[in-house]
Amino acid sequence: MRAANALAKALVEEGVEVIFGLPGGAILEVYDALYDAGVAHITVRHEQAAVHAADGYARATGRVGVAMATSGPGATNTVTGIATAYMDSSPIVVFTGQVSTNLIGNDAFQEADITGITMPITKHNYLVTDPKKLLSVVKEAFYIASTGRPGPVLVDLPKNVTAADIEYNYPKKVVLEGYKPSYEGHIKQIEKAAELIMKSERPIILAGGGVKWSNASEELLKLAELIPAFVVTTLLGKGAIPEAHPLCLGFIGMHGSKYANYAVQESDLVIAIGCRFSDRSTGKVSEFAPNAKIIHIDIDPAEIGKNVRVDVPIVGDAKRVLSKLISYIKYKRRKEWEDKINELRRKYPLRYKKDGFKPQYVVEKVCEIYPDAIITTEVGQNQMWAAQYFKVKYPRQFITSGGLGTMGFGFPAAIGAQVAYPNKTVIDIAGDGSFFMNIQEIATCVYYSLPVRVFILNNGFLGMVRQWQQLFYRERYSATCIGCREHSFEKIAQGFGAVGMTVEKPSEVEDVLRELKDIDDPVIVDFKVDQHANVLPMVPPGKALHEVIDEEVE
C-alpha cells in the first residue's frame, strides 16, 4: 500500500473525524490519499488557522485535533499555532510535508527544517525518513499528544516517504522507554495534603486548565463542597467549576476580580490543581499567598516548584488524585472564612462605569442571551472582558489562548469548535486588532456553512497596549491607533458572503443578539464601543495580587 494511503487509514483507525489543513506540493501524496479516505477535511485559508482550528477542536472536545500543511512556508506558518497549543497543553498532531529525503539539506524548493524549528515548542516531533517506521510514528504521535500532560506533536513527511510502498500493520501498542507519565499520585503525599486541608482555617482551591484536560471537574466540585473550600481558577481553568456556584470566585491574576485575588492573599492554604503558576496568575511571585501553605497537584513534575515554593507536591492525574484525596476529607465548616469571603465579594464586586457604549455591557448581554454557547476569545482587552463578564457553565465552554497570548487565535479556534459541535452556538469575542490577524477565515466559514459568530468589540485601537501606554507610558500612544472605526467590518463580511452588522448604540445590542438566533450563516457583528474603556481591576506587572488599580464607579 502507498504510505500516504496507510497514513490515511491510520488516521481513520485513530478515530480522526476531521483534518484542518491546506495542501501544497510536498504533501500532495497524502492529499491524494485523503480524497476518498473517509476523513473530513476543512481547507483553511492560512496554515496558522489550520493549527488554531485543530487546537480549538481539541479544547472543545478533549480529543486530539489534527492539522496538515505542506513543506516550507506551509510548515513555518504553523509555528504560531503550535506554540499556542504547547503553552496551553493542547493535544494536537500536525502533519507537514517535506522535500524528498535525497533533497533534505540542499536548500531545495520549499524546504524548511521544521523539526528543528519546532523542537522547543512541541512535546515531541518526528522527521520520518524510513517509510517502514511511518505507522509506528503516527501511533506514537497520537499517544504522546493525548497522554500525560497533553501537547502538540509534529510529524514531518518527506514526499518520497509518503509515495513509498509499505505494508499496512498499524501497531496496537506503544512502547516508549523514555515516556511513562505517572498518573496515580503518591498515597503518602495525598495523606499529607489531606492533613493540611483538615488543619486549614482558610483554604482555597486554585484550579487550572489541567482540571479540564483530566476531566476532573466532578471530583473538583466534590472536593470543594466537602472541605468546603472556595475555588478560584486560572484563566485557562475557567469553567473547571460552574462560575455561578456559590463557592466559585472566578479567575485570579492581573485582571481577576479583587475579591478573588484578595481571597488568595488571605488564605492559609492553596490547593493548586493542574496549573503552572504563570506570572499573569500569581502577580509578584514572592508575595503570592504569603501566609499560605501550598499543595500542588500536577501531572508534570517539572511544573512543581518551578515558579512558587510548594509544601506538598503531588505528581499525578488530577482526576485520580482528587478522587483519592476526597476519601480522606471530612466536612468542617469554617464560618469566619466564609464570612470574610462574602464580605470581600460584597465590598469589591466586578463593575464598570455604565456611561456610553461599554464593551463590558456587550459581553454581559452575550452571557445573558447565549449562556450555553461555546465562547472563544482573541487576545487583549476583548479576552479579559470576556473572562470577567461571561460566566462559564461547563468545563470546555471557554476557549482562549492563555500562555502564548496569540491574537488571531479565537476565530479559527471557533471554527474548530463549530466543526466539532455543528449544532451549538459558537461565539468568538474579538477585538478589531486581533480579528484582522485571521480575518481571511471568513471565507472558510462561508464555504463550509459554519455559523460561527464573531462579535468585534471595536475600539479602533490595539486596546490592551493602548491601556498600558495610558497607565505606564504617559499616554504616548505609539503605533496603537489602527483606525478600525473607519472601515466597515459589515461590508468586509458581506464581501466574503457572510452576514455583517454594525451596532452603534447600547440600546441596539439586545435586539441584534436575539435576531441572530434565526440566522444560519456566519455572522460578523461590529460593535463600535467606547474607545477608551479599560480593563479593570488591574494588578500592574510585577506587583502583588493585592496591589490593585481600580476606578471609581460611583
Partner 1 sequence: MKYTIAALVENKPGVLARVASLFRRRGFNIDSLSVGRTEREDLSRMTIVVEGDEKVVEQVTKQLNKLIDVIKVSDVTKNAVERELCLVKVNVQPEKRGEIIELANIFRARIVDVSRDSFIIEITGDEEKIEAFIDLMRQYGIKELARTGKVAMARGSKK
| Closer Cβ to partner 1, 177 or 486, answer by number | 177
Catalytic residue, chosen from 13, 110, 222, 470, is 110
269 and 262 Cβ atoms separated by less than 8 Å: no
Active-site annotation holds for 159: yes
At 190 the three-state DSSP class reads helix
Relative to beta strand 18-22, strand 499-503 is unpaired
Q: Is 133 a residue of the active site?
A: no
Considering only 12-20, 295-303, 353-361, 399-407, which stretch makes contact with partner 1 by CB under 8 A? 295-303
Active-site annotation holder among 254, 437, 464, 501: 464
For residue 102, which phi and psi values (nearest 5 degrees)? -70, -15
| The binder of partner 1 chosen from 35, 120, 172, 507 (CB under 8 A) | 120
Q: Does 123 bind partner 1 (CB under 8 A)?
A: yes
Cα gap 325→332, rounded to integer Å: 15
Sites for partner 1 among residues 130-159 (CB under 8 A): 144
Footprint of partner 1 on 5-34 (CB under 8 A):
none
Which residue of 62, 242, 301, 405 would you call a contact of partner 1, by CB under 8 A? 301
Nearer to partner 1, 149 or 358 (CB): 149
Taking each helix axis from N to C end, the angle separating 47-61 and 410-420, rounded to the nearest 10 degrees, works out to 50
Own/partner long-range contacts of 342-345 (Cβ < 8 Å, ≥24 apart) = 344/258, 344/259, 344/262, 344/263, 345/249, 345/259
Lay out the sheet containing 18-22: strands in order across.
40-43, 18-22, 65-69, 92-98, 153-158, 124-127
Taking the complex as a whole, the smallest distance from the CB of residue 480 to partner 1 amounts, in Å, to 30
- Smallest distance from partner 1 to CB 64, Å: 16
Measured at the CA of 74, the angle between CA 70 and CA 79, to 5 degrees, comes to: 120
388 among known catalytic residues: no
Which segment (190-198, 301-309, 345-353, 493-501) binds partner 1 by CB under 8 A? 301-309
Of 14, 47, 243, 364, the catalytic one is 47
Give Cβ neighbours of residue 70 (< 8 Å, ≥ 6 apart).
22, 23, 24, 25, 26, 27, 96, 97, 110
Considering the candidates 159, 238, 293, 358, report the single residue annotated as catalytic: 159
Find the binder of partner 1 among 17, 32, 268, 300 (CB under 8 A).
300
Q: Round to whole Å and give the CA distance between 526 and 80.
A: 26
Residue whose cell numbers read 479599560:
534
505 binds partner 1 (CB under 8 A): no
Known catalytic residue at 109:
yes
Tell me which residues in 168-227 interact with partner 1 (CB under 8 A): 176-179
- Exactly one of 38, 73, 105, 305 binds partner 1 (CB under 8 A); which one? 305
- Give yes or no: 110 in active site: yes
Tell me the three cell numbers of residue 35.
480524497
List the catalytic residues.
47, 109-110, 159, 464
- Point out which residues bind partner 1 (CB under 8 A): 115-116, 119-120, 123-124, 127, 144, 176-179, 300-302, 305-306
